[in-house]
Structure 1
Amino acid sequence: MTATITVRRAEPEDYPAVRRIYDAPLAQADTLQLPFPSLDLWRARMQSVDGNSHLLVAECGDELVGQLGLQVSTNPRRRHVGDLGMGVRDDWRGRGVGTALLEAALVLADGWLQLRRIELQVYARNAAAIALYEKHGFEQEGLLRDYAYRDGTYVDALAMARVRG
């Protein structure tokens, strides 16, 4: 039986569950989050969201299982651009959480925020995430060599974007 995943806007009180998403080995390996995230750090992040940041969460039942951020550029010449990042709880990977979050973000971007371009960076070896983004119209635009330091080594990332015609 497939679980029903619901996407909604994140609320400040979601901070313990969002911290749980990023306090796991796979989520840390595939994002820029550091190990041992504090509750205070996530409380502050979730309470200081400005009008250009759109945070979404995915729920299944009473469990929060994924989080996505869509940041609209504040530069007047790039108001048509959003930057996207997301994380899925380790035990919920491969179950449609990323798809649900990404589809909700694209509805928001296209239908409400007038975004023409959405950018993201993804680690070059994260084949599942790359496939998800490509399935939703993102294209690889470049290789970012030694993009981040992870588990004692430098790793490459891909710059990807989706541009609406």
Structure 2
Amino acid sequence: MEIKRASEKDFPALDSLISEVFPSVQFVPTEREVYFIASEMQGAGEVLMGFAHVRLPKDNVERKFILQGLGVKNEYRLRGVGSALLEKALSFCMENGALEVQLSVRTLNPAMSLYHRFGFFPKKQLHEDSIILVRKVQT
């Protein structure tokens, strides 16, 4: 498995992956969006297994990065793909001066245990079924 930052040439396959994992989400890359992809070689081609989506902070004062999305195709779940993507995304945030990383998640999302293992803790209840998690980064 290879984890790398997605480049423009990866965008068509990434768009397809996001549509498969999150059908209601549209892929709209901007200058403040960074995507990481997990892939493996199968036969003669590369197959995308999952992605992580990080939104960069609006300013350098607050330095709050947002984990906007983390998704893995069903057939690759429980194989460490999500953990590898989250680790890469968090490393990127730390290398770029993050003071904290936040994400919004449904309370019954199976990835909650993954987020807790990586040091995220509840910050704010959004709705009855969703919550903001935060991970502070040491400076």
The answer to whether TM tops 0.5 is yes
- Which of 87, 110, 115 does residue 103 from structure 1 map onto? 87
Aligned to 2:14: 18
Q: Write the distance in 1 (CA, Å) between the matches of 2:17 and 2:64.
A: 26
The count of corresponding residues between Structure 1 and Structure 2 is 133
- Does residue 33 of structure 2 align to residue 49 of structure 1? no
The answer to whether the 8 Å contact 1:83/1:120 transfers is: yes
Q: CA deviation at 1:20?
A: 3.0
Aligned to 2:114: 132
CA deviation profile, 1:6-62 (whole Å, cap 9, x unmatched): 1001022223322332333xx33xxxx51xx7xxx64xx3xx431x33211111222
CA deviation profile, 1:109-156 (whole Å, cap 9, x unmatched): 12x201110000111111x3111111011001122115xxxxxxxxx2
SS for the counterpart of 1:77 is: coil
- Does residue 73 of structure 2 align to residue 89 of structure 1? yes
The answer to whether the 8 Å contact 1:57/1:68 transfers is: yes
| Greater fraction helix | 1
Paired AA for residue 17 in structure 1? A
Structure 1 residues 16 and 90: alpha-carbon distance in aligned structure 2, compared to 1, 3 A threshold: farther
SS for the counterpart of 2:61 is: helix
- Does residue 135 of structure 2 align to residue 162 of structure 1? yes
Paired AA for residue 75 in structure 2? D
> In percent, how many aligned pairs have the same letter?
26
SS for the counterpart of 2:90 is: helix
Q: Which runs of 5 or more residues in structure 2 are unaligned?
A: none
CA deviation profile, 1:77-131 (whole Å, cap 9, x unmatched): 32x1100022111221221111010111111112x201110000111111x3111
Q: CA deviation at 1:76?
A: 4.4
Q: Which runs of 5 or more residues in structure 1 are unaligned?
A: 147-155
Query: 112-121 vs 84-93, which deviates more?
Result: 84-93
Structure 1 residues 76 and 108: alpha-carbon distance in aligned structure 2, compared to 1, 3 A threshold: closer
Aligned to 2:97: 114
Q: Which runs of 4+ in 1 moved over 3 A?
A: none
Q: If the length of structure 1 is used for normalisation, what is the TM-score?
A: 0.72
